[in-house]
Amino acid sequence: MLTLKKRMVKLLNLLKWLDNNLIKILLTAFIFLIPLWPKFPLFDLEYTYISIRFEDLFIIFFVFIFFIQLIRRKITIPFKFLLLFIIFWIGVFASYLYGHYVLNTVPVKNIGFLHAARRIEYMIFFFIAASAVKSRRDFLFFIKTLFFVLLLVSLYGIGQKFFGFPAVQTMNPEFALGHILYLTPEARVSSTFAGHYDLAAYLVFLMPIILSFYFARQSKTYFVLFIIALFTLTLTASRISFIAYSVSLTTFLLFLKKPKHLFIIALLTIGFSLLSKNLTSRFFQTFQVRRIFVNEKTGQVVVPQKISVKELPAGTFYLQLKKDQPVEFDPALQKKLEEKLLADIREEASKSGITLTSTEEAQLLATMSAGLKPVNTVVSDISFATRLQVEWPRAIKAFLQSPYLGTGPSSITEATDNDYLRWLGEFGLLGTVSFLIILISIFFHLFKRINNNLPSSNFLIYGYLFAFFGLLINATYIDVFEASKVAYTYWTVSGLYLGFLKSNYE
C-alpha cells in the first residue's frame, strides 16, 4: 500500500512538472522540427502548390496548448506588444475581405484566408517564445538548442554538396509534390529547407547572433559553428543573402571595434567564395554584355542563348550600348537566333496540338526574324529581369489600385521577391505601416536595454540587432518574412530575446 502511494506521489509530481514545463518542452520540439523537417505535403490545396504539412498540425496543437496555459495563468505574455500585433492582423484580414468581396482580386476565398491566417501562425510564436523564457538559463538553453539545430542544418547542406544527401524542395509546382531530389554538382544546396534562398536567409539571420555569443562567452565553439555556417552560406550561392551577410557582419564588427576578427572573417569569406564557383559565377552573370535582337515596332526581345545548368541565363531587361554605333553581322549569332526562334515556334505549335511542315516552319521563322535587329546591350540575368519586369510592377500596380488596404493576401501570387513591395501590394498602407511599427518597436525595445554595466549581455543584444538588419537587406530581394522556416525562426528568436530582457534586466 505504501509503495502504491509513493508511485502515485511520483506520478503526480511528474504530471505537475509536465504541466509547469509543457510550453518549454513543446517549444524545444518546435525549434528542432521547423528547420529540420522536410516539406513533405500531407494535403494539397486547390489552385495553388501550397500544401498542409505535418508541422502545421503540430503548430495547431501547440497553439491550442498555449492558449489553455494562458487561460490557466500558467504563463504570461508581453501585453505591451499585443495591441500592435492585433492591429496588423486586423489590417491583414481587412485586406483579405476587401480584396475578395469588393475588388475581386482574391478569387479563391479559402486560399486568401489561409494566406491571411498564416501571418498569425508565424507571429504567434513571438508570444509563445517570450512566455517560455522565465530566466537567463531558459534563454541560453533555447538559443543553444537553436545553434545545435543550425549545426545539423549546415552539415546536412554540406552533405548534399559532397555526399549526395537528398533534398525536398518547393521551387516549382512539381517539386512541391514532395519528390526526393538529388542535387547535380552545379545545384545550390537547400539542406532541409524548401530552397536555397530561405536556407541562406536563415543563416544570414543567425550568424551575427552566433558571433555575439562568441564575443560574450569567449568560447571557440561558437566561432567554429560560425565558420561552418559561412561555408554553407557560400554553397547556397544566394547573391542577396551573401550581400546581406557581408553588410551586416561588416557593420557589426566595425561597430564593436573588432578589426582583427573582421580581417579573419573577411579572409574566410573570400576563400570560401573563391572555392564556390557557383557563387562567383552568379555574381559575374548578374549583368552581361550581349548582342540581342529587338523588334522596335512590337518591343519583342530575343536573347539567343543555350540554356545550361552551368550558366545563369540572361533575361530580356536590357540597356542599349552606343546607340549610334552600327552592329556588324555575326553569322554564328544569327544561327543561334534562328535556333531560338525555331524552338519557340515548335513549342507553341506543340501546346496548340498543331504539327507544322518544314515549309510552314520556315515561313514563320522568316516572319518572326524579319523585324528583329541586332543591338549591343547590357542585359540582366533572368532572375533580376523577372523581378523588374513582372513581379515588382505587379505589386506596385496592386498598391496603386488599392493604396490603403491593398488587393488582399494571395492576390499577387505566391511570390513577389521583395517583401516591402509585397506588403504594399497585398496589405496596402495599413498593413505595411502596422507591420513595420511592430518590427521597429521590437528593435528599439532591445536597443534601449543596452547597459554599459552588462557588457556580455550587450554583445547578445547587438548580435540580434545586426541579425535583424541583415534580414531587412535580404527582404529587398526575397520574401523572407513569408518563407515559413525563416519567419518562424525570426519570430521565435525575437520572443526569446524579449523574454531574456525581462529575466535579465527586471
For the stretch 400-447, pLDDT in tens is: 999 999 999 989 877 889 999 999 999 999 999 999 999 999 999 999
How far separated are the first and last CA of the chain, in Å rounded? Answer: 48
| pLDDT of 196 higher than 70 | yes
Looking at the structure of the chain, the number of domains it has is 2
Per-residue pLDDT band at 354 (split at 50, 70, 90): confident
Is residue 25 included in any domain, yes or no?
Answer: yes
Are 45 and 151 contained in the same domain? yes
Is 327 a residue whose pLDDT tops 60? Answer: no
**What local confidence, expressed as pLDDT, does residue 46 receive?**
62
> Which residues touch 168 (CB under 8 Å, ≥6 apart)?
38, 39, 40, 175, 178, 179, 180, 181, 192, 194
One domain, residues 320 and 344: yes
The Cα 407–Cα 413 span in angstroms is 11
258-295: per-residue pLDDT in tens? 999 999 999 999 999 988 778 888 887 888 877 777 87
Dihedral, CA of residue 356, residue 358, residue 364 and residue 370, to nearest 10: 170
Determine the 3-state secondary structure of 36 from DSSP: helix
Q: 336, 367, 383: which is the final residue of a domain? A: 383
Instruction: Report, as an integer, the average pLDDT of 214-218.
Output: 93
The mean pLDDT of the chain is 87
Buried-state track 166-183, b at ≥16 Cβ within 10 A, e below 16: ebbbbeeeebbebeeeeb
Q: Please give the pLDDT value at position 72.
A: 92
- What percentage of residues in the chain have a pLDDT greater than 70? 92
Contact 479, 416 (CB under 8 A): yes
Do 178 and 255 fall within a single domain?
Answer: yes
Considering 330, 365, 383, which residue would you say is the last residue of a domain? 383
Residue 36 — very low, low, confident or very high, per pLDDT cuts 50/70/90? very high
Better-predicted residue by pLDDT, 343 or 422:
422
pLDDT at 505: 56
Give the confidence band of 50 by pLDDT, cuts at 50, 70, 90. low
193-215: average pLDDT: 95
More confident site: 163 or 357:
163
* CA distances, 391 to each of 106, 133, 139, 145, 176 (Å): 17, 40, 40, 37, 21
- Looking at 348, 363, 383, which one is the last position of a domain? 383
In a domain, 437, yes or no: no
Confidence grade of residue 112 (pLDDT, cut at 50, 70, 90): confident
261 with 299, same domain: the answer is no
**Could you tell me if residue 410 is inside a domain?**
no
Whether 390 maps to a domain, the answer reads: no
pLDDT at residue 237 tops 70: yes
Indicate if the pLDDT at residue 322 is higher than 60.
yes
What are residue 161's DSSP bridge partners? none
* Closest to 376 measured CA to CA, from 329, 318, 321: 321
Q: What is the pLDDT of residue 51?
A: 72
| CB count in 10 Å sphere of residue 296 | 10
Q: What is the arithmetic mean of pLDDT over 447-454? A: 80
Sign (positive or negative) of CA dihedral 58, 60, 61, 66:
positive
Average pLDDT over residues 380-401: 90
- pTM greater than 0.85 (yes/no): yes
Does 276 lie in the same domain as 189? yes
User: Residue 474: its pLDDT value, please?
Assistant: 96
Give the model's pLDDT for residue 173: 63
Dist CA 482 CA 491 (whole Å): 12
**Grid coordinates in use for 476?**
529587398
| Residues 238 and 286: beta-carbon distance below 8 Å | no
Percent of the chain residues topping a pLDDT of 90? 55
Claim to verify: residue 17 and residue 130 sit in the same structural domain: yes
* C-alpha to C-alpha distance for 58 and 36, rounded to whole angstroms: 14
Range of the domain at 268: 2-82+109-280+448-505
Q: Do 62 and 181 fall within a single domain?
A: yes
Q: Which residues contact 120 (CB under 8 A, 6 or more apart)?
A: 89
The pLDDT, as a whole number, for residue 176 is 65
Residue 433 lies in a domain: no
The predicted pLDDT at position 222 comes to: 97
Q: Is residue 406 within 8 Å of 399, Cβ to Cβ?
A: yes
User: Is there a domain that residue 275 lies in?
Assistant: yes
Q: Residue holding cell 495563468?
A: 73
Same domain membership, residue 190 and residue 212: yes
> Same structural domain for residues 213 and 237?
yes
pLDDT band at 181 (very low <50, low <70, confident <90, very high): confident
Q: Look at residues 494, 422, 474, 497 and name the one whose alpha carbon lies nearest to residue 233.
A: 474
Say if 255 falls within a structural domain: yes
Task: Give the per-residue pLDDT at 145.
Answer: 97
**pLDDT band of 309, cuts 50, 70, 90:** low
pLDDT band at 490 (very low <50, low <70, confident <90, very high): very high
- Are residues 212 and 357 both part of a single domain? no
Q: Confirm whether 150 is domain-assigned.
A: yes
Instruction: Tell me: do 247 and 341 sit in the same domain.
Output: no
Write out 395-463 in H/E/C secondary structure.
HHHHHHHCCCCCCCCCCCCCCCCCHHHHHHHHHHHHHHHHHHHHHHHHHHHHHCCCCCCCHHHHHHHHH
Residues 222, 74: one domain? yes
pLDDT of res. 363: 77
